[in-house]
């Protein structure tokens, strides 16, 4: 094999190895030869149980709104509660280090490890037992003050994010953060989850449609998502074919210029 052919093969290998292939960029691919399924069976989701530092919003309504005003934080702010992130934080109920929240008039309630529905029933029963009769038609709503998660690594916009919805899957979270960059590893996205018994870490492959059956497909509040970089980022040869070709041409030009300068000296 002559040197020219060997050089050409090396350049070709560099060109193709430096590019990020399309299959590494496409989400939710069907990776076996079976027929596409019209419905992907997802696992049953377990309800989220509150942890320390969570912020919840509790709304109490009745036939006569004046009867329940004193139980709301808005009573301390002229009856107006801001729906901004800051407003929800300051007017919501934060779970302290002991797992308690403090409500006006009612006082402390332990909510650590409880679901939102269980907290609603506790608050409703406490109001009926101590302050109201059934004729008051007490209506209690308990929600998280925004679904918070943190995302870092090869993503368009890093940092803590808040979505105002009940459930958030990992595809929505990534889209909300500006999508994974070309040099991000979609096949091994790390999710770090805080649980009462400790920290749990798991990798998911977003290029495989079966990720929708993973217990980590739907996030939990306070999840941390890390997008690892592909090797192409450190190689410095370019992420696309055009970028790689430009890099190779630049290197060849540099090598040729250096060779000619050394030969003429």
Contact status, residue 11 vs residue 248, Cβ threshold 8 Å:
yes
Q: Does domain 55-144 have CATH number 3.40.50.880?
A: no
Under the banding of pLDDT at 50, 70 and 90, the label for residue 232 is confident
Over the stretch 165-188, which tens digit does the pLDDT of each residue have? 989 999 999 999 999 999 999 999
Could you give the percent of the chain with pLDDT greater than 90? 51
Q: Which of left, alpha, beta for 234 (phi over 0: left; psi -120 to 50: alpha)? A: alpha
What are the C-alpha distances in Å from 102 to residues 105, 186, 191, 233?
Answer: 9, 42, 32, 49
Q: Please check the confidence at residue 50 and state whether its pLDDT lies above 90.
A: yes
pTM of this prediction?
A: 0.76
Over the stretch 148-160, which tens digit does the pLDDT of each residue have? 999 999 999 999 9
State which CATH number among 3.10.560.10, 3.30.590.20, 2.40.30.270, 2.40.50.100 fits the domain covering 147-233: 3.10.560.10
Q: Please check the confidence at residue 73 and state whether its pLDDT lies above 60.
A: yes
User: What value does the mean pLDDT take over residues 41-47?
Assistant: 72
Report d(CA 65, CA 60) in Å as an integer: 9
Report d(CA 132, CA 158) in Å as an integer: 47
The pLDDT of residue 24: 83
Q: Please check the confidence at residue 79 and state whether its pLDDT lies above 50.
A: no
Place of tokens 């101590």: 130
Contact status, residue 207 vs residue 130, Cβ threshold 8 Å:
no
Report domain extents, the chain: 55-144, 147-233
E strand or H helix at 226, and its extent?
strand 224-229
**Closest alpha carbon to 62 in 118, 123, 15, 8:** 123
Which range among 44-48, 114-118, 126-130 shows the weakest confidence by mean pLDDT? 44-48
E strand or H helix at 71, and its extent?
none
């Amino acid at each position: 094999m002559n040197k020219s052919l060997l050089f050409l093969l090396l350049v070709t290998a560099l060109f193709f190895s430096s590019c990020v292939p399309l299959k590494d960029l496409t989400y939710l691919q069907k990776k076996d030869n079976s027929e596409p399924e019209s419905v992907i069976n997802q696992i049953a989701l377990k309800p989220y149980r509150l942890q320390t530092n969570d912020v919840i919003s509790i709304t109490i309504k009745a036939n006569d709104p004046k009867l329940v005003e004193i139980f709301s934080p808005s009573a301390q702010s002229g009856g107006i509660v801001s729906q901004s992130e800051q407003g929800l934080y300051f007017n919501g109920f934060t779970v302290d280090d002991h797992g308690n929240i403090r409500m006006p008039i009612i006082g402390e309630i332990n909510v650590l490890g409880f679901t939102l529905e269980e907290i609603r029933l506790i608050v409703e029963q406490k109001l009926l037992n101590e302050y109201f009769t059934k004729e008051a038609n007490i209506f209690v709503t308990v929600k998280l003050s925004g679904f918070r998660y943190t995302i870092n690594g090869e993503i368009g916009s890093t940092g803590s994010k808040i979505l105002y919805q009940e459930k958030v899957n990992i595809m929505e979270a990534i889209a909300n953060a500006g999508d994974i960059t070309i040099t991000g590893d979609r096949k091994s996205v790390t999710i770090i989850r805080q649980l009462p018994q400790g920290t749990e870490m798991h990798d998911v492959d977003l290029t495989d449609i079966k990720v929708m059956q993973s217990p980590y497909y739907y996030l939990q509040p306070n999840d941390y998502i890390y997008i690892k970089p592909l090797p192409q980022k450190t190689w410095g040869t370019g992420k696309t074919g055009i970028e790689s070709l430009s890099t190779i041409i630049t290197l060849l030009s540099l090598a040729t210029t250096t060779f000619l300068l050394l030969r003429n000296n």
